[in-house]
Structure 1
Amino acid sequence: MESITLMEAYAIETLRGNGINNDKIIENIKANDLEEFKAVKENMDFDALVELSKNADFEAIVNDGYKVKFLTFNGLKNLIKMKFGKFADEDYQVDDFVISGLELDKNQQQDLENMLSANWTLSGEAGGVTVKPTK
Protein backbone atom coordinates (compact mmCIF):
# COMPACT_ATOMS: atom_id res chain seq x y z
CA MET A 1 0.00 0.00 0.00
CA GLU A 2 1.34 3.42 -0.98
CA SER A 3 2.03 6.02 1.70
CA ILE A 4 0.92 9.61 1.17
CA THR A 5 1.01 12.83 3.17
CA LEU A 6 -1.90 14.03 5.25
CA MET A 7 -2.42 16.96 2.85
CA GLU A 8 -2.62 14.57 -0.11
CA ALA A 9 -5.20 12.51 1.78
CA TYR A 10 -7.18 15.69 2.53
CA ALA A 11 -7.15 16.60 -1.17
CA ILE A 12 -8.44 13.18 -2.24
CA GLU A 13 -11.14 13.06 0.44
CA THR A 14 -12.21 16.66 -0.29
CA LEU A 15 -12.85 15.71 -3.91
CA ARG A 16 -14.73 12.55 -2.94
CA GLY A 17 -16.76 14.48 -0.39
CA ASN A 18 -17.85 16.84 -3.15
CA GLY A 19 -19.17 14.04 -5.35
CA ILE A 20 -16.18 13.54 -7.63
CA ASN A 21 -15.68 9.83 -8.30
CA ASN A 22 -12.38 7.95 -8.38
CA ASP A 23 -12.23 7.70 -12.18
CA LYS A 24 -12.66 11.47 -12.56
CA ILE A 25 -10.02 12.16 -9.89
CA ILE A 26 -7.52 9.88 -11.67
CA GLU A 27 -8.35 11.23 -15.14
CA ASN A 28 -8.05 14.90 -14.19
CA ILE A 29 -4.91 14.49 -12.09
CA LYS A 30 -3.11 12.50 -14.79
CA ALA A 31 -4.10 15.17 -17.36
CA ASN A 32 -3.08 17.97 -14.95
CA ASP A 33 -6.60 19.39 -15.42
CA LEU A 34 -7.27 21.04 -12.06
CA GLU A 35 -9.77 23.79 -12.91
CA GLU A 36 -12.82 21.75 -11.88
CA PHE A 37 -11.09 20.74 -8.65
CA LYS A 38 -10.07 24.30 -7.78
CA ALA A 39 -13.73 25.27 -8.11
CA VAL A 40 -14.48 22.72 -5.38
CA LYS A 41 -11.88 24.08 -2.95
CA GLU A 42 -9.90 27.04 -4.19
CA ASN A 43 -7.12 26.99 -1.60
CA MET A 44 -6.46 23.22 -1.73
CA ASP A 45 -3.12 22.19 -3.26
CA PHE A 46 -4.24 19.76 -5.94
CA ASP A 47 -0.85 20.22 -7.65
CA ALA A 48 0.51 17.94 -4.92
CA LEU A 49 -1.66 15.14 -6.34
CA VAL A 50 -0.25 15.75 -9.82
CA GLU A 51 3.27 15.39 -8.41
CA LEU A 52 2.21 12.31 -6.46
CA SER A 53 0.83 10.73 -9.64
CA LYS A 54 4.25 11.07 -11.29
CA ASN A 55 6.07 9.20 -8.53
CA ALA A 56 3.55 6.67 -7.21
CA ASP A 57 0.81 4.31 -8.35
CA PHE A 58 -1.88 6.97 -8.18
CA GLU A 59 -4.64 4.69 -9.49
CA ALA A 60 -3.98 2.21 -6.66
CA ILE A 61 -3.92 5.04 -4.10
CA VAL A 62 -7.33 6.30 -5.22
CA ASN A 63 -8.98 2.95 -5.94
CA ASP A 64 -7.41 0.65 -3.33
CA GLY A 65 -6.54 2.99 -0.47
CA TYR A 66 -3.49 4.52 1.12
CA LYS A 67 -1.54 4.82 4.33
CA VAL A 68 -0.88 8.28 5.75
CA LYS A 69 2.85 8.75 6.42
CA PHE A 70 2.35 10.54 9.73
CA LEU A 71 -1.10 11.14 11.17
CA THR A 72 -1.68 13.67 13.93
CA PHE A 73 -4.64 13.37 16.30
CA ASN A 74 -6.46 16.31 14.68
CA GLY A 75 -5.59 14.87 11.27
CA LEU A 76 -7.13 11.56 12.31
CA LYS A 77 -10.36 13.26 13.45
CA ASN A 78 -10.50 15.28 10.22
CA LEU A 79 -10.03 12.20 8.04
CA ILE A 80 -12.74 10.32 9.95
CA LYS A 81 -15.07 13.27 9.31
CA MET A 82 -14.12 13.62 5.63
CA LYS A 83 -14.06 9.93 4.72
CA PHE A 84 -16.85 8.52 6.88
CA GLY A 85 -18.98 11.54 7.83
CA LYS A 86 -18.44 10.86 11.55
CA PHE A 87 -18.00 13.68 14.05
CA ALA A 88 -16.22 13.80 17.42
CA ASP A 89 -18.57 13.86 20.42
CA GLU A 90 -21.53 13.03 18.15
CA ASP A 91 -20.53 9.74 16.52
CA TYR A 92 -17.65 8.75 18.78
CA GLN A 93 -15.97 9.72 22.04
CA VAL A 94 -12.63 11.47 22.41
CA ASP A 95 -10.62 11.15 25.59
CA ASP A 96 -6.91 11.91 25.97
CA PHE A 97 -5.95 11.15 22.32
CA VAL A 98 -8.15 8.03 22.23
CA ILE A 99 -11.12 7.66 19.91
CA SER A 100 -13.71 5.11 21.05
CA GLY A 101 -17.21 4.00 20.15
CA LEU A 102 -16.70 4.73 16.45
CA GLU A 103 -19.24 2.64 14.56
CA LEU A 104 -17.97 1.54 11.15
CA ASP A 105 -18.86 -1.36 8.91
CA LYS A 106 -16.18 -3.96 8.16
CA ASN A 107 -15.04 -2.26 4.92
CA GLN A 108 -14.83 1.15 6.60
CA GLN A 109 -12.93 -0.36 9.51
CA GLN A 110 -10.45 -1.94 7.09
CA ASP A 111 -10.06 1.37 5.21
CA LEU A 112 -9.36 3.21 8.46
CA GLU A 113 -6.89 0.57 9.64
CA ASN A 114 -5.05 0.76 6.30
CA MET A 115 -4.85 4.58 6.49
CA LEU A 116 -3.36 4.74 9.96
CA SER A 117 0.31 5.56 10.29
CA ALA A 118 2.50 3.50 12.62
CA ASN A 119 1.81 5.81 15.56
CA TRP A 120 -1.83 4.58 15.82
CA THR A 121 -3.42 1.26 16.79
CA LEU A 122 -6.97 0.24 15.90
CA SER A 123 -9.04 -2.36 17.71
CA GLY A 124 -12.58 -3.48 17.02
CA GLU A 125 -14.63 -3.91 20.16
CA ALA A 126 -18.26 -4.30 21.18
CA GLY A 127 -19.68 -0.81 20.91
CA GLY A 128 -17.40 0.30 18.10
CA VAL A 129 -13.85 0.84 16.99
CA THR A 130 -11.13 2.27 19.24
CA VAL A 131 -8.10 4.10 17.87
CA LYS A 132 -5.31 5.01 20.25
CA PRO A 133 -1.65 6.00 20.12
CA THR A 134 0.81 3.15 19.75
CA LYS A 135 2.77 2.60 22.95
Structure 2
Amino acid sequence: MAISMMEAYTIELLKTHPYTFKQVKHYIENDELYLLTETFNIDTDSLKILLNENAEEMEQAFEGNYEVKFVTINGLKNLLRMRFQISDDQYELLPEGNGLQSLQVDLITEQQIRRMLSSNWKVERDGELITLFV
Protein backbone atom coordinates (compact mmCIF):
# COMPACT_ATOMS: atom_id res chain seq x y z
CA MET A 1 0.00 0.00 0.00
CA ALA A 2 1.37 3.41 -0.95
CA ILE A 3 0.65 6.12 1.62
CA SER A 4 1.70 9.71 2.17
CA MET A 5 4.45 10.76 4.56
CA MET A 6 1.86 12.25 6.92
CA GLU A 7 -0.16 9.02 6.91
CA ALA A 8 3.00 7.06 7.73
CA TYR A 9 3.77 9.48 10.60
CA THR A 10 0.23 9.09 11.91
CA ILE A 11 0.34 5.30 11.79
CA GLU A 12 3.76 5.14 13.46
CA LEU A 13 2.69 7.63 16.13
CA LEU A 14 -0.46 5.65 16.93
CA LYS A 15 1.47 2.37 17.04
CA THR A 16 3.85 3.76 19.67
CA HIS A 17 0.99 4.85 21.93
CA PRO A 18 0.21 1.81 21.48
CA TYR A 19 -3.00 1.67 19.50
CA THR A 20 -3.75 -1.38 17.42
CA PHE A 21 -5.40 -1.34 14.03
CA LYS A 22 -8.56 -2.80 15.57
CA GLN A 23 -8.76 0.02 18.12
CA VAL A 24 -8.27 2.72 15.47
CA LYS A 25 -10.80 1.01 13.20
CA HIS A 26 -13.28 0.95 16.08
CA TYR A 27 -12.76 4.67 16.74
CA ILE A 28 -13.28 5.47 13.05
CA GLU A 29 -16.37 3.29 12.65
CA ASN A 30 -17.95 4.70 15.82
CA ASP A 31 -17.00 8.31 15.08
CA GLU A 32 -14.82 8.45 18.20
CA LEU A 33 -11.64 9.82 16.62
CA TYR A 34 -11.75 12.69 19.10
CA LEU A 35 -10.29 10.17 21.57
CA LEU A 36 -7.13 10.10 19.43
CA THR A 37 -6.98 13.82 18.78
CA GLU A 38 -7.17 14.61 22.50
CA THR A 39 -3.71 13.06 22.82
CA PHE A 40 -2.18 13.66 19.37
CA ASN A 41 -2.36 16.36 16.73
CA ILE A 42 -3.19 14.08 13.82
CA ASP A 43 -5.20 14.27 10.61
CA THR A 44 -8.13 11.97 11.30
CA ASP A 45 -9.64 12.58 7.85
CA SER A 46 -6.78 10.67 6.20
CA LEU A 47 -7.37 7.73 8.57
CA LYS A 48 -11.04 7.65 7.59
CA ILE A 49 -10.17 7.74 3.90
CA LEU A 50 -7.58 4.97 4.25
CA LEU A 51 -10.04 2.73 6.09
CA ASN A 52 -12.90 3.41 3.68
CA GLU A 53 -10.73 2.81 0.60
CA ASN A 54 -9.35 -0.51 1.77
CA ALA A 55 -9.46 -1.72 5.37
CA GLU A 56 -7.24 -4.73 4.63
CA GLU A 57 -4.50 -2.53 3.19
CA MET A 58 -4.77 -0.15 6.13
CA GLU A 59 -4.35 -3.08 8.48
CA GLN A 60 -1.27 -4.12 6.50
CA ALA A 61 0.08 -0.57 6.84
CA PHE A 62 -0.33 -0.82 10.63
CA GLU A 63 1.78 -3.98 10.45
CA GLY A 64 4.51 -2.01 8.65
CA ASN A 65 3.70 -3.11 5.11
CA TYR A 66 3.55 0.21 3.32
CA GLU A 67 5.49 2.33 0.87
CA VAL A 68 5.70 6.07 1.36
CA LYS A 69 4.78 7.80 -1.91
CA PHE A 70 7.29 10.64 -1.63
CA VAL A 71 10.10 10.52 0.91
CA THR A 72 12.16 13.59 1.75
CA ILE A 73 15.48 13.34 3.56
CA ASN A 74 13.98 14.78 6.75
CA GLY A 75 10.97 12.50 6.36
CA LEU A 76 13.31 9.53 6.05
CA LYS A 77 15.19 10.54 9.19
CA ASN A 78 11.90 10.89 11.10
CA LEU A 79 10.55 7.53 9.89
CA LEU A 80 13.82 5.79 10.79
CA ARG A 81 13.51 7.24 14.29
CA MET A 82 9.79 6.52 14.70
CA ARG A 83 9.63 3.07 13.14
CA PHE A 84 13.08 1.59 13.79
CA GLN A 85 14.38 3.68 16.74
CA ILE A 86 17.36 4.77 14.62
CA SER A 87 18.72 8.08 15.89
CA ASP A 88 20.66 10.78 14.03
CA ASP A 89 23.95 9.62 15.54
CA GLN A 90 23.64 6.18 13.90
CA TYR A 91 24.30 7.42 10.35
CA GLU A 92 25.95 10.23 8.41
CA LEU A 93 24.39 12.57 5.89
CA LEU A 94 25.84 12.13 2.40
CA PRO A 95 27.99 15.13 1.39
CA GLU A 96 25.55 15.90 -1.45
CA GLY A 97 22.68 15.96 1.07
CA ASN A 98 20.70 13.43 -0.94
CA GLY A 99 20.86 10.50 1.45
CA LEU A 100 22.28 8.77 4.49
CA GLN A 101 25.32 6.55 4.80
CA SER A 102 27.09 4.33 7.31
CA LEU A 103 23.84 2.99 8.75
CA GLN A 104 24.28 -0.40 10.40
CA VAL A 105 21.11 -2.49 10.31
CA ASP A 106 20.36 -6.20 10.07
CA LEU A 107 19.03 -7.72 6.86
CA ILE A 108 15.43 -7.81 8.10
CA THR A 109 15.45 -4.09 8.92
CA GLU A 110 17.13 -3.36 5.59
CA GLN A 111 14.33 -5.18 3.76
CA GLN A 112 11.69 -3.27 5.73
CA ILE A 113 13.40 0.02 4.84
CA ARG A 114 13.58 -1.00 1.16
CA ARG A 115 9.83 -1.76 1.10
CA MET A 116 9.03 1.50 2.90
CA LEU A 117 10.92 3.79 0.51
CA SER A 118 9.45 5.07 -2.74
CA SER A 119 10.97 3.72 -5.96
CA ASN A 120 13.22 6.77 -6.53
CA TRP A 121 15.31 5.79 -3.46
CA LYS A 122 18.24 3.38 -3.71
CA VAL A 123 19.64 1.19 -0.95
CA GLU A 124 23.17 -0.19 -1.22
CA ARG A 125 24.88 -2.53 1.23
CA ASP A 126 28.63 -2.52 1.79
CA GLY A 127 29.51 -5.13 4.40
CA GLU A 128 27.56 -4.32 7.56
CA LEU A 129 26.58 -0.79 6.48
CA ILE A 130 23.91 0.50 4.13
CA THR A 131 23.57 3.76 2.23
CA LEU A 132 20.18 5.26 1.35
CA PHE A 133 20.08 7.85 -1.43
CA VAL A 134 18.04 9.42 -4.19
- Compute the TM-score of the two structures, normalised by the length of structure 2: 0.84
Distance 1:29 1:108 in 2: 31
Structure 1 residues 3-12 or 27-36, which shifts more? Answer: 27-36
- Uncovered stretches (5+) of structure 1, i.e. residues with no partner: none
- Asked if the contact 2:15/2:62 (under 8 Å) is kept, the reply is no
Aligned to 1:105: 106
**Aligned letter for 2:13?**
T
Aligned mates of 1:79, 1:70 — CA distance in 2 = 12
1:51-101 CA distance string (max 9 Å, x none): 11111321222225101111111111111111111122x111112222112
How far, CA to CA, are the matches of 1:74 and 1:47 in structure 2?
A: 24
AA matched with 1:74: N
Please tell me whether the aligned partners of residues 30 and 53 of structure 1 are also in contact (alpha carbons under 8 angstroms): no
> RMSD across aligned C-alpha pairs, in angstroms?
1.9
CA drift of 1:32 comes to 4.1
Tell whether the 8 Å contact from 1:15 to 1:40 is kept in structure 2 after alignment. no
Distance 2:103 2:28 in 1: 32
Q: What is the number of equivalent residue pairs in this alignment?
A: 130
Larger deviation, residues 120-129 vs 5-14:
120-129
TM-score by length of 1: 0.83
**Partner residue, 2:18:** 19
In structure 2, give the amino acid aligned to 1:129: I
Say if 2:53 is the partner of 1:55: yes
Q: What fraction of aligned residue pairs are identical, expressed as a percent?
A: 30
Going from structure 1 to structure 2, the CA distance change for 1:24 and 1:121 (only over 3 Å counts) comes to same
Larger deviation: 106-115 or 13-22? 13-22
Q: Letter of the aligned partner of 1:70 in structure 2? A: F
Task: Give the 3-state SS of the residue equivalent to 2:63 in structure 1.
Answer: helix
